[in-house]
Amino acid sequence: MSSEPRSAAASQSDFAVTLRILPVVLYTFLCYLTIGVPLAVLPGFVHTDLGYGSMMAGAAISVQYLATLLSRPLAGRTADTLGPKKTVLYGLAACALSGVLLLGSALAAQWHAVSLVLLVIARLVLGFGESWVGTGSITWGIGRVGVANNAKVISWNGIATYGALAIGAPLGVAVDHWLGFASLGLIVIALGGFGYWLATRMASVPVVHGERMSYRSVFFRVLPYGLGLALGSAGFGSIATFITLFYAAHNWPNAALSLTVFGTMFIGARLLFANTIKTYGGFRVAIVSFSFECAGLLMLWLAAEPTIALAGAALTGVGFALVFPALGVEAVGLVPPASRGAALSAYSVFLDLSLGLTGPLAGYVAGEFGYGSVFLFAAAAAAGAVALSVALYMRAGRGVGGPATA
């Protein structure tokens, strides 16, 4: 009889925690809308409008992740020392600035080299904004609800991320079709500016004081977990960068729909299965997740019709959904609270590194073996992530049903 009130109280507590997380991850949502809106349009703009090859199209997308990679350490240090609110504000300002540069690239389209340079600079600035908003939002959320809810904060941050990409990709295609490429720059400016305005009106959280590890020490402590994340992220990078060209090569319509399906299934899996990390442990959830992702990518590689391709994108989204929080809660639990921002940024570096390398590497694979082979390449990386996660699980000596470190 008493278990029912306790269950109701727990549900109310979870709901209250979620309400405190959602306003912060809104900034992540707006940031990734600035990424998602031009995402499905940029490869075609570089390849068709500017006349560059598929490898350059991939590199133009992936250069953003290089900037994110390089700015992660500073983002983590800023979140730990100046606080997450300032970190988020700097990031949203960078997102708005990237829109100005994207607009300039569109207006200079008749001068191909100038347009490409402005586009690359816009991607670099946007990468800076992504790292600062992403790191700042997670640490801001943890500061509002406590370290016991690490996995919940990370999960909701991911829902905001891929929800924005799922909405942004078809929205960007529609806006480009009706209003032209230049209008995408205006939308990015508006989203970044609106997010900045909202963030100035939310209360900050205290900076955590205490023992701080050097970034080098934090980096090497989370390194094995980051390598698993990097291998598993190749699937998302391949879909985000080359799914539109893959569809075009087969003369299939609605390429942006595959990004929407990927994002929708990602969000659904996050909402339905987020508690599995506490129940079964991060390592075992990661092993299952990577296996599903590998299967979905193999379906994309073998797809002979768009329905199969959509199913492969959906299964990949389900598999990728819990990768970041599953290994992330294990990684963050390895450092003291005052180094939490550094751990998150160091761990996220591997996501950036993977996405940064996936574009040009997959572009080379596509040029040599065709666009379908890009997904075989990503499936092999996901299989490697399964093996690494099994090794980490065995090294940790985790008992059956043991909870994640966090």
Q: Measure CA of the first residue to CA of the last residue in the chain; give whole Å.
A: 31
What Rg value do the Cα atoms of the chain yield, rounded?
A: 20
Give DSSP secondary structure letters for 42-77.
HHHIIIIIS---HHHHHHHHHHHHHHHHHHHHHHHH
Q: How far apart are CA 85 and CA 105, in angstroms?
A: 31
Q: Is it the case that residue 8 has pLDDT exceeding 60?
A: no
Q: How far apart are CA 105 and CA 121, in angstroms?
A: 10
Q: How far apart are CA 30 and CA 196, in angstroms?
A: 10
> Tens of pLDDT along 159-208?
888 778 778 878 898 898 899 889 999 999 999 999 999 999 998 887 76
For residue 259, what are the CA distances in angstroms to 64, 242, 254, 255? 18, 11, 10, 7
Q: Give residue 230's pLDDT.
A: 93
Q: Give residue 142's pLDDT.
A: 86
Place of tokens 């700015």: 71
> Tens of pLDDT along 30-87?
999 999 898 878 888 887 778 787 778 777 777 887 788 788 888 888 888 888 999 9
The number of beta carbons lying within 10 Å of the beta carbon of residue 248 is: 17
**Mean of per-residue pLDDT scores for the chain:** 85
The shares of helix, strand and coil residues in the chain, as percent rounded to the nearest 5, are: 85, 0, 15
Q: Give residue 209's pLDDT.
A: 66
Q: Which domains does the chain have, with CATH numbers?
A: 17-396 (1.20.1250.20)
Residue 11 — very low, low, confident or very high, per pLDDT cuts 50/70/90? very low
> Tens of pLDDT along 231-257?
999 998 888 778 888 888 888 888 878
Q: Is it the case that residue 289 has pLDDT exceeding 60?
A: yes
Crossing angle (nearest 10°) for helices 340-369 and 112-145: 140
Q: What is the pTM of this model?
A: 0.75
